[in-house]
Amino acid sequence: MKASKTIGVIIMVALGTFVATNAVAKDRTTGRGKGPVVYVESQGLFFDSIVVTDHLPFAGNFQELKPGEGPSGLATEFGPGDVGYLGGRWWVDGNMNGYMDDEDVYFLCPLLGPGRGSL
């Protein structure tokens, strides 16, 4: 029961982060996306995004998306043009155990280039 409460809290934090970054997306005057703004650590750039699906099955390769990190509230290591970028196939570590499993969240949300230096 304790694990499911933890997962629920993490999912609520992730959703809250998406709502906050969506508010930024609606108010910004640059960029093209209406989805969350994601900070790409390897490039030091912000990328707009578009949420294609809010859930994917736990199958295939995914890249970690870290809610609550980076200047935009969402961060990842690799972005468009980087070898480790997987085209917007994300996982959020819902149970905070450091690896992908059935208790995590998987979704598709491609980043839209070009990246920019500020929100």
What's the total number of domains in the chain? Answer: 1
Has residue 78 been placed in a domain? yes
pLDDT, tens digit (0-9, with 9 covering 90-100), for 24-65: 445 544 556 567 899 999 999 999 998 887 788 888 999 999
- Are β-strands 63-64 and 89-92 bridged in parallel, bridged antiparallel, or unpaired? parallel
Has residue 118 been placed in a domain? no
Q: Percentage of the chain with pLDDT > 90?
A: 50
Has residue 61 been placed in a domain? yes
Say which residue the tokens 């609550």 belong to: 68
Burial (0-12, 13-18, 19+ Cβ within 10 Å), 8: exposed
d(CA 41, CA 50): 19
- Comparing CA positions, the residue from 82, 65, 76 lying closest to residue 10 is 65
Q: Percentage of the chain with pLDDT > 70?
A: 71
Has residue 119 been placed in a domain? no
Residue 37, phi then psi, degrees to nearest 5: -95, 130
23 has a pLDDT exceeding 80: no
Q: What residues make up the domain containing 92? A: 2-113
